């Protein structure tokens, strides 16, 4: 038998195979169970030993040549197919983005993200509590018992049904008037030591250019051993310098009163009058300068630490509470709080932030929109 002719013909057919399917068909035709070359191999069994010795190597060589040719043609076809795909699936990075992003991040959200970023760097975690709060967490545990006059200043929204049902404790529900109840919840849940900020919505029945029935606060709480007012002052100073992105922020601590802190301090920040506008920075005592009240704070009252389930002889702490909307107004220059909650697209387009403008300390916490 003329194996050379068979081989030449097989190799020619393999060479002419147009695609991977054709290669597979040829492989089956030559080397499959019923394949022609497999058939030749089977004839070896019926041959005489001499015949087998002369024919065997030729048949094996033929099979080897066909196997190699099939593999080579297959590889060639595959790389050609890849070339075609690479050419067809090219991405043109010079095209504009499909759609310009719409909508902006509200300044309140942006400021809350800035606060979380700054305080995370100081080792504070973010804690939360419910906006529908009970009387005990909102008042009693913060050292404001039922008859306490400070309650009257909170213009509280109570839920009517439960208020009538009980004598006022502890099931009476309300919309939290401040973020301070998160202090109690976090102490009870996590124990000490603690370093948290608690940003969120709060509610009071009050409405004018600087008051809305819903607004935002951020609470700060540190509980540890040997904590004193110096820690409070350093923390607030460090935070305000980072937030307003200026080194010349000057604070003034004034004695004050809050039921949940003892002693209590009100913190003022120095500003300069520039073209009739208040610009934070510098001592409020310098000529052309003044002091602006910014936040309430103090050393956590022993009773509050006890209500939080901790021993006040072992644990001390400081706390502070700031209006988030107010911080946003001071930093980004809005003058009417009500506009924050109107949902006016033009206001949001002007004062809002790009969703891609994520506050980071390294990038400057709050690059203006």
Give the binding site for ligand DAH (CB under 6 A).
178, 180, 219, 258, 260-261, 296-298, 319-321
Cis status, amide bond into 193, omega within 30 of 0: yes
Q: How far is the CB of 138 from ligand DAH (least distance, A)?
A: 10
Question: Which ranges of the chain does DSSP label H, i.e. alpha helix?
Answer: 3-16, 20-31, 36-43, 49-88, 107-121, 135-138, 160-165, 181-190, 229-244, 302-307, 324-332, 345-351
CB 101 within 8 A of CB 354: yes
DSSP secondary-structure letter at 309? T
Q: Which is nearer to ligand DAH, 129 or 359 (CB)?
A: 129
Helix, strand, or coil (residue 122): coil
List of residues 6+ apart from 17 with CB closer than 8 A: 23, 26, 73, 77
Q: How far is the CB of 236 from ligand DAH (least distance, A)?
A: 11
Q: How far is the CB of 113 from ligand DAH (least distance, A)?
A: 21
Q: Which is nearer to ligand DAH, 173 or 295 (CB)?
A: 295
Q: How far is the CB of 286 from ligand DAH (least distance, A)?
A: 28
Q: Which is nearer to ligand DAH, 186 or 261 (CB)?
A: 261
Q: Which is nearer to ligand DAH, 143 or 261 (CB)?
A: 261
List of residues 6+ apart from 332 with CB closer than 8 A: 107, 351, 366, 368
Q: Which is nearer to ligand DAH, 203 or 353 (CB)?
A: 203
Q: Which is nearer to ligand DAH, 6 or 143 (CB)?
A: 143
CB 181 within 8 A of CB 198: no
Q: How far is the CB of 142 from ligand DAH (least distance, A)?
A: 8
What is each CA distance from 164 to 46, 155, 157, in whole angstroms?
Answer: 107, 18, 14
Q: How far is the CB of 361 from ligand DAH (least distance, A)?
A: 24
Residue 49, Cα to own-chain centre: how many angstroms?
80
Rounded to 10 degrees, the C-alpha dihedral 317/318/323/327 comes to -120
Q: How far is the CB of 265 from ligand DAH (least distance, A)?
A: 8
Helix, strand, or coil (residue 253): strand
Query: Which residue's Cβ has the minimum distance to ligand DAH?
Result: 321
Helix, strand, or coil (residue 130): coil
Q: Which is nearer to ligand DAH, 258 or 307 (CB)?
A: 258
Q: How far is the CB of 114 from ligand DAH (least distance, A)?
A: 19
Q: How far is the CB of 292 from ligand DAH (least distance, A)?
A: 16
Helix, strand, or coil (residue 203): strand
Q: Which residue has the tokens 């929109």?
A: 369
Rounded to 10 degrees, the C-alpha dihedral 357/339/133/265 comes to 80
């Amino acid at each position: 038998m003329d194996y050379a002719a068979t081989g030449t013909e097989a190799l020619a057919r393999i060479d002419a195979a147009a695609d991977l399917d054709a290669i597979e068909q040829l492989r089956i035709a030559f080397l499959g169970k019923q394949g022609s070359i497999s058939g030749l191999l089977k004839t070896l069994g019926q041959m005489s030993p001499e015949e087998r010795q002369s024919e065997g190597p030729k048949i094996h060589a033929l099979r080897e040549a066909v196997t190699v040719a099939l593999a080579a043609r297959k590889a060639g076809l595959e790389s050609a197919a890849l070339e075609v795909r690479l050419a067809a699936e090219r991405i043109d990075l010079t095209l504009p983005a499909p759609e310009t992003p719409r909508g902006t991040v509200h300044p309140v959200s942006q400021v809350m993200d800035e606060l979380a970023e700054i305080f995370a760097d100081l080792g504070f975690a973010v804690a939360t509590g419910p906006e529908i709060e009970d009387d005990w967490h909102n008042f009693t545990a913060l050292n404001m018992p039922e008859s306490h006059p400070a309650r009257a200043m909170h213009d509280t929204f109570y839920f009517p049904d439960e208020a009538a049902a009980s004598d006022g404790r502890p099931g009476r529900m309300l919309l939290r008037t401040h973020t301070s109840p998160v202090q109690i919840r976090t102490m009870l849940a996590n124990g000490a030591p603690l370093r948290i900020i608690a940003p969120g919505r709060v509610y009071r029945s009050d409405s004018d250019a600087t008051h809305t029935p819903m607004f935002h606060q951020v609470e700060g709480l540190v509980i540890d051993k040997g904590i004193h007012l110096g820690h409070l002052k350093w923390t607030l100073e460090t935070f305000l310098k980072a937030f307003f992105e200026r080194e010349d922020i000057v604070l003034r601590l004034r004695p004050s009163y809050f039921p949940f802190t003892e002693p209590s301090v009100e913190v003022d920040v120095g500003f300069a009058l520039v073209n009739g506008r208040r610009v934070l920075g510098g001592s409020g005592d310098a000529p052309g300068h003044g002091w602006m009240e910014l936040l309430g704070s103090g050393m956590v009252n022993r009773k509050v630490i006890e209500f939080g389930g901790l021993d006040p002889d072992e644990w001390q702490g400081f706390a502070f509470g700031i209006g988030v909307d107010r911080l946003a107004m001071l930093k980004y220059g809005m003058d009417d709080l009500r506009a924050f909650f109107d949902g006016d697209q033009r206001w949001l387009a002007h004062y809002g932030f790009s969703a891609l403008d994520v506050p980071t300390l390294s990038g400057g916490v709050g690059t203006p929109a």
